[in-house]
Structure 1
Amino acid sequence: MICFLQELPTDSGFFELGSDPDSSCAPDNPVRWKLFFASKHRSVVRVVVLGDIGQPVYHVGDEAMTHAVVDELRARGVSDIVLLSRDPEQSTRIFGTESVKTLEFPWPPHRRETYLREIRAVLAGDMTALPAEDQVHALIETLKTCDGVVIAGGGNMTSPYGWLLYERAAVGAIANALGKPLVISGQTVGPVLTGPDYDTVVELFRSATLTSVREQTSWDLMRNAGVPAGLTLDDASFFEVDHALPAALELDQVTYKPRADRPFLVATFAPGTGAMDRDAFNQRIAEVLDRIADAGNLDVVMIPHMSHPGQADIDIETHQDIRRRMTTENVMVCGQLSAEESASLTMQAEVVVASRYHPVVFALSSGVPCLGIAVDYYGEVRIGGALANWGLGHTMRSLRHLATPEFDAFVDQFWASRGDIRSYLKQMSPAQGDFQRAWWDFVVETLKGSRPEAPVLVSPEPAFLELASGEHPAVAQLTANNELHIGHQSVELFGLTNLLEDTRGSLGAMEAVRDGLNQVTSALAATESEGHHLRIERDHLQEKLQLLESSLLVRACRKLRLLPR
């Protein structure tokens, strides 16, 4: 029998030590000490967790955030966890939990808006709003069995990824309808949100019991909407991995084995290059990586965060192109690694250079200096926000910097400051870790029925101001506004294009129905014409019959009873 000793209130409902005759761990004076039997008397909580997992494309960041949620819940005694996944079998194998199919929303804006309205109608009692075989009914039954719902962190609450936003809105609506506590953790909100999507986000956050966003920009957006959201670090901050253990899921055998005598640089780049020509961007990145690797005599380890397992596409293809442009020889392009192995290697690096978000998150919480390069405003919000949470937001660089000759001087200065940056991050880490652990305590308290107030991270004062950009803030804001405007127009055009396609489809269907009706009408007309001719013939025959019956021959035959009268 396993037992834990804890001083508890006398009305806690647990047994006093010594009251169980089989107890062998009671102290000499058990006055207020009670026995907590883990197997029999522990409060069981069953939690449904929604993360963007089980996709055909493996995404290190999304998988890592879900890993972090599962780990943090388990560390606080919540072991009955159900994951919502695109591929439940794969997720069960990776996470060791129960997994079920999540909702899949259509991509076009008007279709996802319609589907969400139909789901809400079902939740309001209109069972005719969706067919009995619709996917939502199974999910409702799953959520009925749980005590609470957690929406794991991510950058999905934005119009360009609206189908994921509406998936979360639907799960939140179901939880709310069933009276289940809903926790929304570590989100980026926007920055591109159309009118309907903005309303959907606000309604989702207002319906939740506890919420947090992961950067100041998102927090300001929620505060301006009158929504009380917390501000925390990304869910995968302080993601705990055992460097000595193999990956939980071996996706590809091409990996890097660190050596104590050989420092290395971790680089991760997505295919997206924003407004910059891809060849020009990849060439510039190759020059930057060469510059740092040569200065520190470093291996360069290129770790993809997105690809189809078994295929050298997306990040891997980008890394291969950058590698071809580099002059440094000691470069390894890794295959798709698991979230654990990717995080582990990143945390052991001498320095990290990335256009993706989660290499920066892994680096910051493990004290690794990182150079975050954003290719668009969405990237600036996320990467800049993650760095700002550690007092380093001004060290983020964008395409506006990358294209200038002064960027080489900045890279040299960044490399020269790496030791001080590492020491600074290590000094910051305990307080940041305590704050994030407190957040997870609040999460579990909420799932068990409490209503704690969401914590708000106080961003530290900017450090290493010599690394700040010389760009005037007004210029950066103007560029951001331009990108937001273009982003909104792109989403609206996407929606209108699909609406036009649907309208054309509906028009085509109506035209087909019209053609069918015309055929029926023609057939009826033909039938009517044929009926008219038949009536004329009938009348003609009746006239002949009357003449025949009046004839002398017929009358004679009837008298002779040769014909019936």
Structure 2
Amino acid sequence: MRVVVLGDIGQSVYHVGDEAMAHAVVDELQARGVSDIVLLSRNPEQSARLYDTSAVKTLEFPWPPHRRETYLKEIRAVLAGDLDALPADDQVHALIKTVGESDGVVIAGGGNMNSPYGWLLYERAALGAIAESLGKPLVISGQTVGPVLTGPDYDTAIELFRSAALASVRESTSLEMLNEAGLQTGLTLDDASFLKASPEGAGYLSGEPSYQPKPGRPYLVASFAPGTGAMDRNDFNQRVADILDRIAGPGSLDVVMIPHMSRPGNRDIDIEIHADIQRRMRAKNVTVCGQFTAEEAATLTTQAEFVVASRYHPIVFALGAGVPCLALAVDYYGEVRLGGALANWGLGHTMRSLRHVVTPEFNDFVDELWGRRRDIRDYLNTISPSQADFQNAWWDTVVETLKGATSVAPILDIPEPIFPELHSGEHPEAAKLTANNEAHIGHQSVELYRLTHALEDTTGTLAAAEAERERLRVALEAMSGEITAVESEVSRLEQQFSALESSKVVRLARRLRLLRS
């Protein structure tokens, strides 16, 4: 059986989370006998090497909203039989051929089905439309949907899920959104929750020296993105430095900063942020790591004593391995994903946002969370087997669906919140109001982006029309000149002709007179 798998992989910026979910899908399919896998990637050569499987070029959609909407319409027109809707050399034709030669399609998990990352949503919508047109079963696994989905993007996401033979989301917020749209969708853990350890002897992606665990020496994993929401980056980085110093204490454990996004070989994005946090810390036993592969990052994270992160997948890796963690969300998108991941393990109330970080009580929470780490680890290890069994059953269902079975997507039984003393104390309505405000701002930002690019395109179209009008005016003037010249020539020839005709008449008359005489 040949299966096409789409993940957000092969980008110039390596992203641990996106690659981890794709690795998980490949691992789970291969474990169930699916050996012929074709990855869709932006860098097929890199992906083929990292995954040891086939890979081809994926679709690349334009970023501006109205342009991606137009391109998706053109693709659908091609699928409906209008082969003139796109040029014969358009990228979509190769993908149609790839899907046509497969037995099914899997869209790996992710957080890109929203308007801010709309070009990725439309890439997936196009793949879903191709699969549906060719009669291939489509499975969508472990998604975050929204929270910002505007206008056509919402309709596109709903249509994509409706076309799937089997689909799941990874948090209750996404499940509720799809249920409100009348869709019955499954709820699962993130695809990479139980990612296999990195292969023995694998090297770092960046080739840089990095942290090696020492026997008997505990360490804390920290991972932070450049985004700091409404909080000034300097203030946020200093607050993180204070938190890490508070937990690490006077050299009692190492602090290992693992980047989840950077350009391999460059100390940018997460690595740059980590270096700034390190400079602000009092502790000296801090390692700013180079870029790991997804499997390496997961392996090192799952062996940690504790995890602190604003990134999503360090928290996912930690929970699956029973590692206590502190998740810091810098915006509502982060709250949905981090809070959802924690809630799936009964710990959603331990997520903290910028609203909490700036309060005097936050230090007490950090101390209590750290103090309860062994209890949290014991609890996670207790429920981990049932969580793993559920996720294994999900992958079994995925493969059966790809083989043609009609399946019902499972719903994860979310545990009741544990350790109530770790609750933020924030009133739910206050948190909801803040979330609604952020979502509203997000919708406005996307609409502004949409209108800005529509205006640019309209301005460009008008400029092109004006240029064409000027070209036609100049051409018309030239033609007018040519017509005038032709008319003058015609007039001159007519005069010559008239003169010639008159001369012939005169000569003829003379001849006639001569004949009469």
2:388: which partner in 1? 433
Query: Which residue, 479, 488, 493 being the options, matches 2:448?
Result: 493
In structure 1, C-alpha distance between the alignment counterparts of 2:182 and 2:251, rounded to whole Å: 49
Q: Where does 1:61-460 land on structure 2 (aligned, <5 Å)?
A: 61-242=17-198, 245-247=200-202, 250-294=205-249, 297-460=252-415
- Go from structure 1 to structure 2 and tell me whether the alpha carbon gap of 1:464 and 1:552 turns closer, same or farther (over 3 Å shift): closer
Q: Where does 1:497-536 land on structure 2 (aligned, <5 Å)?
A: 497-536=452-491
Does residue 49 of structure 1 match 2:5?
A: yes
- Checking the alignment, whether the CA contact within 8 Å between 2:346 and 2:414 is kept in structure 1 is yes
Opposite residue 267 of structure 1, the aligned amino acid is A
Matched position secondary structure for 2:116: helix
- Checking the alignment, whether the CA contact within 8 Å between 1:267 and 1:352 is kept in structure 2 is yes
In structure 1, C-alpha distance between the alignment counterparts of 2:208 and 2:399, rounded to whole Å: 37
Q: Where does 1:7-18 land on structure 2 (aligned, <5 Å)?
A: none
Show structure 2 runs of 5+ residues with no match: none
Matched position secondary structure for 2:55: strand
1:38: which partner in 2? none
In structure 2, C-alpha distance between the alignment counterparts of 1:421 and 1:432, rounded to whole Å: 16
In structure 1, C-alpha distance between the alignment counterparts of 2:15 and 2:427, rounded to whole Å: 35
Q: Deviations over 1:205-249 (max 9, x none)?
A: 11100000000000111111110100000000111105x713366
In structure 1, C-alpha distance between the alignment counterparts of 2:113 and 2:264, rounded to whole Å: 26
Q: Deviations over 1:51-83 (max 9, x none)?
A: 000001000000000000000011111111000
In structure 1, C-alpha distance between the alignment counterparts of 2:469 and 2:399, rounded to whole Å: 59
- Checking the alignment, whether the CA contact within 8 Å between 1:265 and 1:299 is kept in structure 2 is yes
In structure 2, C-alpha distance between the alignment counterparts of 1:535 and 1:233, rounded to whole Å: 86
In structure 2, C-alpha distance between the alignment counterparts of 1:263 and 1:308, rounded to whole Å: 29
- Checking the alignment, whether the CA contact within 8 Å between 1:549 and 1:555 is kept in structure 2 is no
Matched position secondary structure for 1:104: coil
- Go from structure 1 to structure 2 and tell me whether the alpha carbon gap of 1:96 and 1:552 turns closer, same or farther (over 3 Å shift): closer
1:32: which partner in 2? none
Matched position secondary structure for 1:159: coil
In structure 2, C-alpha distance between the alignment counterparts of 1:368 and 1:475, rounded to whole Å: 30
1:276 Cα offset (Å): 0.4
1:521 Cα offset (Å): 1.2
1:250 Cα offset (Å): 2.8
Opposite residue 69 of structure 1, the aligned amino acid is V
1:545 Cα offset (Å): 2.6
Report which of the two has the higher share of helix. Answer: 2
Does residue 471 of structure 1 match 2:426?
A: yes
Bigger shift: 371-380 or 509-518? 509-518
Q: Deviations over 1:488-539 (max 9, x none)?
A: 0000111111111111111111111111111121112112221232233223
Q: Deviations over 1:184-223 (max 9, x none)?
A: 0000000000021111111111110000000000011111
Matched position secondary structure for 2:127: helix
Q: Deviations over 1:411-468 (max 9, x none)?
A: 1111101110111101110110100000000001111111121100011000011110
Identify the structure with bigger relative contact order (alpha carbons < 8 Å, sequence gap 6+): 2
Q: Output the aligned Cα RMSD.
A: 1.7
Bigger shift: 527-536 or 124-133? 527-536
- Checking the alignment, whether the CA contact within 8 Å between 2:205 and 2:264 is kept in structure 1 is no
Matched position secondary structure for 2:315: helix
- Checking the alignment, whether the CA contact within 8 Å between 2:194 and 2:320 is kept in structure 1 is yes
- Checking the alignment, whether the CA contact within 8 Å between 1:371 and 1:395 is kept in structure 2 is yes
The total of aligned residue pairs comes to 514
In structure 1, C-alpha distance between the alignment counterparts of 2:508 and 2:78, rounded to whole Å: 81
Matched position secondary structure for 1:510: helix
Matched position secondary structure for 1:283: helix
- Checking the alignment, whether the CA contact within 8 Å between 2:144 and 2:170 is kept in structure 1 is yes
Q: Where does 1:30-41 land on structure 2 (aligned, <5 Å)?
A: none
Matched position secondary structure for 1:236: helix
- Checking the alignment, whether the CA contact within 8 Å between 2:5 and 2:106 is kept in structure 1 is yes
Show structure 1 runs of 5+ residues with no match: 1-44, 560-565
Query: Which residue, 536, 539, 542 being the options, matches 2:497?
Result: 542
- Checking the alignment, whether the CA contact within 8 Å between 1:548 and 1:554 is kept in structure 2 is no
Structure with larger Rg: 1
In structure 2, C-alpha distance between the alignment counterparts of 1:65 and 1:501, rounded to whole Å: 36
In structure 2, C-alpha distance between the alignment counterparts of 1:531 and 1:143, rounded to whole Å: 61
1:314 Cα offset (Å): 0.6
1:153 Cα offset (Å): 0.2
- Checking the alignment, whether the CA contact within 8 Å between 1:395 and 1:468 is kept in structure 2 is yes
- Go from structure 1 to structure 2 and tell me whether the alpha carbon gap of 1:296 and 1:181 turns closer, same or farther (over 3 Å shift): farther
1:107 Cα offset (Å): 0.5
In structure 1, C-alpha distance between the alignment counterparts of 2:64 and 2:293, rounded to whole Å: 31
In structure 1, C-alpha distance between the alignment counterparts of 2:188 and 2:501, rounded to whole Å: 102
1:554 Cα offset (Å): 11
- Go from structure 1 to structure 2 and tell me whether the alpha carbon gap of 1:78 and 1:543 turns closer, same or farther (over 3 Å shift): closer
Q: Deviations over 1:143-163 (max 9, x none)?
A: 111111100000010100000
1:128 Cα offset (Å): 1.0
- Checking the alignment, whether the CA contact within 8 Å between 2:204 and 2:291 is kept in structure 1 is no
Matched position secondary structure for 2:194: coil
1:551 Cα offset (Å): 6.0
In structure 2, C-alpha distance between the alignment counterparts of 1:433 and 1:415, rounded to whole Å: 25
